[in-house]
Amino acid sequence: MLLLVGLGNPGARYAGNRHNIGFMAVDAIAKRHGIGPWRRRFQGAAAEGPLGGTRALLLLPGTYMNESGRAVAEAAHFYKLGLFDIVVFHDEIELPAGKVRVKTGGGNAGHNGLRSISEQVGNDYRRVRIGVSHPGAKELVHGHVLSDFAKSEMPWVEALCEFIADNVGLLVKGQDATFQNKVHLAMRAKGFGDSKDPGGTD
């Protein structure tokens, strides 16, 4: 069993926020691979199905971001999962918009969702860091991540979620670097690889 967690805040008010791109990515995986239906489980919405030759549980915590760890811990304990079996998709202000990086463990860089998960289950789970760019000043970060993607950003957001969903089988197999590279190349082929583009991946 693999647990794929999308981070975000519940409710329509937050649905289009940069902070919710983890929700968007995991929802795209469910749609692409026919995983569903979503049910109320583990303090959130969960859907279970086959993915890349293994069973996967997709989880969107229904707690607010800073309590995400409660939902993750409940699901992980129920299925007796190890940390490597947990993959968390989240927004990352330290990466340019449209860039994806996968890492295991490491710091939480002020991300309340990651901090909550680390407090509940430990730190060495896998993270799919999805770049939403930095607003330029620390005091602007809160407003930046809790504001909606601009209409002009939606083409790269939708393309990125699509390519994450297309290549998620590589994550299932533990081929994190290959997954990262495939998503990067797909974004580039779609025209989002130019560093002068606000959704660029370079």
CB 74 within 8 A of CB 86: no
DSSP assignment, residue 97? T
Which residues are known catalytic residues?
19
Q: Which long-range contacts (CB under 8 A, 24 or more apart) does 37-40 make?
A: none
Cα–Cα distance for residue pair 3/69, rounded to 1 Å: 13
In order of 45, 51, 63, 129, the CA distances from 9 in angstroms are 12, 25, 7, 17
Cα–Cα distance for residue pair 34/80, rounded to 1 Å: 25
Nearest-CA neighbor of 100 among 5, 198, 187? Answer: 187
